[in-house]
Amino acid sequence: MATQSAAKKMVRTIVGEEGWKRLRRYRRKLAGGPAPVPRPAAPTGIAAISHDLCKLAQHFRTDKWGAHRYAQHYQRHLQHLKNDPINLLEIGVGGYSRAGQGGASLRMWKHFFPNAQIYGMDIQDKSFVDEDRIRTFIGDQSDVGSLVGVASEIGTLDVVIDDGSHRSPHVLTTFETLFPLLRDGGIYAVEDTQASYWPEWQGSEDRDDPRTSMSMLKRLTDGLNYEEFVDEDYEPSYTDLNVVGMHFYHNLVIIEKGKNAEGTNKRRVLKERYGDGGTRR
């Protein structure tokens, strides 16, 4: 045995590591054993973190992780679309009017969604960010014409993220314009809702002020349950009929679009009000 292993050692020294591996493969082939399955190379660089939005956010230096804690929530709500050929539009590319600055989050989305087209819209020219699968538009989110124009250039909208001016009137105009254009099953996100409470940012100290973005978003939660309203004259709004999920986080709200028509048990439960023993819906 000792002589055999000394001989092996000598051959290995003579033929080198590569030659030794070849010899072993050849010996296995002669013995009729299965060829070893080559292990896929472990991903390196960005590929190694492309499944993890928190790491991608840090890598590309968007404040969606760090200053804010949004990436973890996006991971949960967008994971199911990861390999789909989606169109994602983000309002607010970043960098404001600083030359050559911005695009961090668009690059993060591009690496998280390998088959997606990523679009950005900003009031400033951010065309230097454009590259394969990333395209930017100049547009003001307070202007309905700009929003509709960008949406029609893109086609189907699967995901919309509002990370633009954060001014409540702008957030409302953008939502009222783009939400109806989002596809069924799509996701709409509003970031930095803290600005809703700041008068300096066109928000309000009055948490019930109906003009703020948070008031508008909170109203949508009642709409989820419009089928339970007992006012027989109530006409459901577009959002009542098309919002199926609302998720509130610190400074971030995520809205799921879909057909909201699960029905109600109110006629069976409220017998005195409806007086028909629940036979009528």
Q: Is residue 178 near ligand SAM by the rule CB under 6 A?
A: no
Token representation of residue 131: 């590259």
Whose Cβ is closer to ligand SAM: residue 133's or residue 268's?
133
Which range binds ligand SAM by CB under 6 A, 25-33, 93-101, 176-184, 223-231? 93-101
What CA–CA distance (Å, rounded) separates 97 from 94? 9
Give, rounded to a whole angstrom, the gap between the first and last alpha carbons of the chain: 87
In the complex, least distance from residue 43 CB atom to ligand SAM, rounded to whole angstroms: 24
Which range binds ligand SAM by CB under 6 A, 38-46, 116-124, 206-214, 225-233? 116-124
Q: Is residue 203 near ligand SAM by the rule CB under 6 A?
A: no
* Three-state SS at 250: coil
Q: Is residue 92 near ligand SAM by the rule CB under 6 A?
A: yes
Q: Is residue 124 near ligand SAM by the rule CB under 6 A?
A: yes
- Residue 248's contacts (CB-CB under 8 Å, 6 or more residues apart) are 217
Closest-CA residue to 64 (of 125, 107, 100, 98): 107
| Residues belonging to the active site | 166
Could you tell me where the beta strands, DSSP code E, fall in the chain?
A: 87-91, 117-122, 134-138, 157-162, 182-191, 243-249, 252-257
Select the residue interacting with ligand SAM from 59, 170, 226, 255 (CB under 6 A): 170
Q: Which residues bind ligand SAM (CB under 6 A)?
A: 62-64, 90-96, 102, 104-105, 121-124, 140-142, 163-165, 170
